[in-house]
Amino acid sequence: MNVNQATFLKATSKLFGVDFVPKIPESSKNEAGEPSLDSVEQSHALHCKHCTTQHGYTNIVFGCGNPHADIMFIGEAPGEEEDKQGEPFVGAAGQKLNEIISAMKLTRDDVYIANIIKVRPENNRTPREDEIALCAPYLVKQIECIQPKVIVALGSPASKFLLQTSVGITRLRGNWGWFDSIPVMPTYHPAYLLRNYTTETRKEVWSDIQQVLKKVQALGKTSQV
């Protein structure tokens, strides 16, 4: 964890009255003292103060895709289908995300997909800030492991968390922000796009995605499997 992330976690902890940082066993860190994605997943399953205290879900949906991806998509929380299958974005919103990924001439195996909350909230409600404060430190660790070139924040909760802002997605989308030193492009959530399937919203999302592709190209790294 670098200084910015440590400060960020401390600030988040203070903000929501939470006093912890994720526990990653020393034995599962690499030579540089950084945790592996597997160890973050195990640590989350054992210690997440949000997910380990919830009921009524089937699977923890940690994330999927290329652990060396240039592009990381971050959504809100698993829905019914994701809970059943244990994989993010496999329901209707997932089909739309798949279309976006194919339009980028990529596959789900080229990118990494995760959520800010890793178990399904009851009745598919939007995660609360206190829940995000408890679970998202593991997402921060995930980001640290993957080190994507660019993050695409899908919808309001992911954008607000990553950019530490209360500004709504309509104003945020299309404008670069930063998470630590990683550029973040906020855009509409695919579920919002499905509910508001207009020429305007489609154009906006595609324009955001084109900015992402240009940024990755400018940063000049190719994904390795």
Binding to ligand URA (CB under 6 A) within 97-156 occurs at: 115
Stretch that binds ligand URA, among 31-39, 78-86, 197-205, 213-221 (CB under 6 A): 78-86
Binding to ligand URA (CB under 6 A) within 145-204 occurs at: 191
Q: Single out the residue of 89, 112, 179, 192 in contact with ligand URA (rule: CB under 6 A).
A: 89
- If one counts every other C-beta atom within 10 angstroms of the C-beta of residue 217, the result is 11
Q: Give the CA distances from residue 99 to residues 37, 67, 84, 194, in Å, rounded to whole numbers and listed in that order.
A: 27, 21, 22, 12
Q: Which bin fits 99, alpha (ψ -120 to 50), beta or left (φ > 0)?
A: alpha
Q: Which residue's CB comes closest to ligand URA?
A: 75
Nearest CA-CA partner of 173 in 160, 154, 189, 186: 186
Stretch that binds ligand URA, among 1-9, 40-48, 70-78, 214-222 (CB under 6 A): 70-78
Q: How far is CA 185 from the centre of its chain?
A: 12
Q: Do residues 13 and 135 touch, judged by C-beta distance below 8 A?
A: no
Between 77 and 145, whose beta carbon lies closer to ligand URA?
77
Query: To the nearest whole angstrom, how small is the minimum distance from the Cβ of residue 137 to ligand URA?
Result: 18
Give residues in contact with ligand URA (CB under 6 A). 75-79, 82, 88-89, 91, 93-94, 115, 191
